[in-house]
Chain A
């Protein structure tokens, strides 16, 4: 870490198996991250089910910038900066609603829900050069919808969303397909929580479960048949894997469970094991639509795809989780239970209850995760040895035919995936392709 007045030398802060503390604590780095990650690559903004009919809108964020996601009268989606072109007042202050236009409360400038400027009060005092067509709400340069998920990029040019998503795209499709009618619905409310820590703490971590969430294992152990070893699936003996898809996208893949393991997963999130009647009805709907093999994959995906779409989206335990950075040491996380369109009502009700078991501010898991994040923030201030070690499983990975790096589930494959993508964006923000899955050598260069 240099003491230069400009920017720290970010290239020096991430090595193959190490990350420097300042990556998580330095406000200058945080502002560079906004510029080079949140305002240049593709970020998740909203789900189409939040704005189903013409006129619907929701207000969201890209990094620190407020945006409006609206659906115009022709059904077209827009991502507009929530800032009046006159004197910068926020033009929409409601979290969601239905409106044909947005009127700035400050001086009454009024915009159509596609962003164009409809009119301004007392226009006679503006001169002949005043051109309304130039003064619409600012439009995020690139917007793309994929399997119902709306992404936006502040960069005028760059890789397409499909290129950016790469191998993660298939998992997102599976998650959408796990709704019997092909449409997941983010209409079941949400949990919004905050913690005092860096946004990058919300990762994919197969190593922490038996320690951070020890009490959940202990609780389940009380109800388990004798001889059951809770937590075996989260140990170095687990058959589950961690996957680096490139561009920071990664997954803990639970798709190859052995006998009885599916029930254990169900149990972990629901507090009771076994297939309920609603589960069975849902399974039959999937089997009828997709056949048994794909249905089996979708059942697991519906329950927990455990996918991180870098930088700010996770599909986790039946939820869509959105990470919103607030500062180097403060983060908001909003989680929406994904209800499955066409599934039995009772099944979706059970999904809500399953969410509340582990997640939310009074869940059995989330409070301990956030506590760990806050302890991390404090620990990071002890800087005598400023490097964090993320080398677990390094050199033991395999690479599959698609070029994805595969490790054991407790390996730090996801941590390395994130930091490789982070380094690629921060050092050379010109191109997503810099962040390929090619391993980096000991000096952090491409091998």
Chain B
């Protein structure tokens, strides 16, 4: 019997691999595909998305549009695409309910395009249990440098 932590880790690694490979459609299939699912990349400061501008605060349908645009010809900031490779670590199951699991993790993402950059941050996932594993209900990303000048982030964090 695989432990819950291992199951969660395997899910996050798969998510990371699809994001690194710009497999946008497959990555979107990891989600619960409705308005109740949210993706939040926090902006500077400590306000939540109701009072403070985020880098991204999308319900699933808008997230899908945002990422679909990146697959269209003319998305200049990703022509050519970034070469991405991320490490996901410090995975913790922080809460466990009947149908959902809350998970904390950290990531370090190496991004090579015109120059090399490193994006580091913390993630919070709420994962809904499904027949074949998990589906993402929400994902929050807190970049470690979110209070600083940020470079372009036109890919999946």
Which residue numbers of A lie inside 8 Å of B, CB to CB? 95, 187-196, 212, 214-216, 218-219, 271, 332, 337, 349, 352-353, 355-357, 360-362, 364, 366-368, 370-372, 374-375
Is the pair B53, A355 in contact by a Cβ cutoff of 8 Å?
yes
Q: How far is the CA of A361 from the CA of B69 in the complex (A)?
A: 15
Is the pair B151, A188 in contact by a Cβ cutoff of 8 Å?
no
Of the stretches B21-29, B42-50, B87-95, B98-106, the one at the interface is B42-50
Given contacts A192-B148, A360-B43, contact A352 B157 (CB under 8 A): no
Q: How far is the CA of A219 from the CA of B78 in the complex (A)?
A: 16
Q: Tell which of B41, B52, B72 touches A189, judged by Cβ atoms closer than 8 Å.
A: B52
Given contacts A212-B76, A219-B72, contact A361 B55 (CB under 8 A): yes
Is the pair B114, A374 in contact by a Cβ cutoff of 8 Å?
yes
What are the residues of chain A within 8 A of B77 when measuring CB–CB? 367-368, 370-371
User: What are 5 A-B pairs at a CB distance below 8 A?
Assistant: A188-B52, A192-B149, A216-B69, A219-B69, A352-B49
- Give the most central of A194, A337, A356: most B CB within 10 Å: A356
Q: State the 5 A-B residue pairs at the shortest beta-carbon distance, nearest first.
A: A367-B77, A189-B52, A214-B74, A367-B154, A371-B77
Q: Tell which of A189, A214, A367 touches B152, judged by Cβ atoms closer than 8 Å.
A: A367
A349 closest partner in B (C-beta): B50
Q: Tell which of B41, B51, B65, B66 touches A188, judged by Cβ atoms closer than 8 Å.
A: B51
B108 adjacent to chain A (CB < 8 Å): no
Is the pair A362, B69 in contact by a Cβ cutoff of 8 Å?
no
Q: How far is the CA of A375 from the CA of B77 in the complex (A)?
A: 10
Given contacts A189-B47, A192-B148, contact A360 B74 (CB under 8 A): no
Is the pair B72, A218 in contact by a Cβ cutoff of 8 Å?
yes
What are the residues of chain B within 8 A of A190 when measuring CB–CB? 43-45, 53
Q: Tell which of A215, A271, A337 touches B74, judged by Cβ atoms closer than 8 Å.
A: A215
What are the residues of chain A within 8 A of B148 when measuring CB–CB? 192
Is the pair A362, B153 in contact by a Cβ cutoff of 8 Å?
yes
Is the pair B65, A271 in contact by a Cβ cutoff of 8 Å?
yes
Interface residues on B, range: 35 or more
What are the residues of chain B within 8 A of A212 when measuring CB–CB? 76
Q: Tell which of A192, A215, A352 touches B72, judged by Cβ atoms closer than 8 Å.
A: A215
Is the pair A361, B65 in contact by a Cβ cutoff of 8 Å?
no
Q: Tell which of A188, A194, A357, A371 touches B149, judged by Cβ atoms closer than 8 Å.
A: A194
What are the residues of chain A within 8 A of B78 when measuring CB–CB? 367
Q: How far is the CA of A362 from the CA of B57 in the complex (A)?
A: 10
B148 closest partner in A (C-beta): A192
B54 adjacent to chain A (CB < 8 Å): yes
Q: Tell which of A196, A353, A364 touches B57, judged by Cβ atoms closer than 8 Å.
A: A353
Is the pair A362, B151 in contact by a Cβ cutoff of 8 Å?
no
Given contacts A189-B52, A191-B43, A368-B76, contact A356 B149 (CB under 8 A): no
Q: How far is the CB of B85 from chain A (nearest CB, A)?
A: 19
Q: How far is the CB of A364 from chain B (nearest CB, A)?
A: 6
Q: How far is the CA of A193 from the CA of B45 in the complex (A)?
A: 15
- Give the most central of A196, A215, A372: most B CB within 10 Å: A215
Q: Tell which of A187, A361, A364 touches B66, judged by Cβ atoms closer than 8 Å.
A: A364
B112 adjacent to chain A (CB < 8 Å): no
Q: How far is the CB of A404 from chain B (nearest CB, A)?
A: 33
Q: Tell which of A194, A218, A362, A368 touches B55, judged by Cβ atoms closer than 8 Å.
A: A362
B75 adjacent to chain A (CB < 8 Å): yes
Q: Tell which of B49, B147, B151 touches A194, judged by Cβ atoms closer than 8 Å.
A: B151
What are the residues of chain A within 8 A of B72 when measuring CB–CB? 215, 218-219
What are the residues of chain B within 8 A of A191 when measuring CB–CB? 43-44, 53, 55, 150
Q: How far is the CA of A191 from the CA of B41 in the complex (A)?
A: 12
Is the pair B75, A368 in contact by a Cβ cutoff of 8 Å?
yes
- Give the most central of B52, B57, B147, B152: most A CB within 10 Å: B152
Q: How far is the CB of B66 from chain A (nearest CB, A)?
A: 6
Q: How far is the CB of B56 from chain A (nearest CB, A)?
A: 5
B14 adjacent to chain A (CB < 8 Å): no
B10 adjacent to chain A (CB < 8 Å): no
Q: How far is the CB of A325 from chain B (nearest CB, A)?
A: 13
Is the pair A218, B53 in contact by a Cβ cutoff of 8 Å?
no
Is the pair A193, B74 in contact by a Cβ cutoff of 8 Å?
no
